[in-house]
Structure 1
Amino acid sequence: MSLKNSINDFGTFLGDKESLLDKNYPRIAEMLKLHWGYIEIYQYINKLLIVDKDRNRQGFPVEALQEIYILQEIHEKLFPDMRK
């Protein structure tokens, strides 16, 4: 099941659009679903967003970054006691 279909607020945010994370980054989408509802999601998101100078990574397109930030906001809203 996609992120869009498994997280109602995310589906509402996307509307008719397809999720770039679901489409182009299926492993990341799966990991986000796996961590959904747990405090570990914040560590995983930080790992996605922070660039280690010793690693050569391309980074995400702006639209994918926006989806990650929206998912983090939705998680914080649904699980407010889990935020560090």
Structure 2
Amino acid sequence: VTTRCSETDTILAAAKAAGLVIPSGCSMGICGTCKVRKTEDQVHMVHNGGITDEDVEDGYILACCSKPLGRVSVEA
């Protein structure tokens, strides 16, 4: 599914608006429930400890606190 989102939308908000379900909990980057693998382009992610540096290096993001910086693709 492809969807458009504003610069202020998170990946999680854009997915929900498109009818996709990404499991989430805190929506503040703490719990890690919304961790998905980013497969294309970049995001700006400001989390609160809910993801490890190793996961980030492996391409994972927290959808609740990541905003797209282009055309982003994720595996959810």
**TM-score of the alignment, normalized to the shorter chain, above 0.5:** no
| Larger RCO of the pair (alpha carbons < 8 Å, separation 6+) | 2
Higher percent of residues as strand: 2
* TM-score (norm. length: structure 1): 0.28
Q: Higher helix fraction: Structure 1 or Structure 2?
A: 1
Q: Highest Rg: 1 or 2?
A: 1
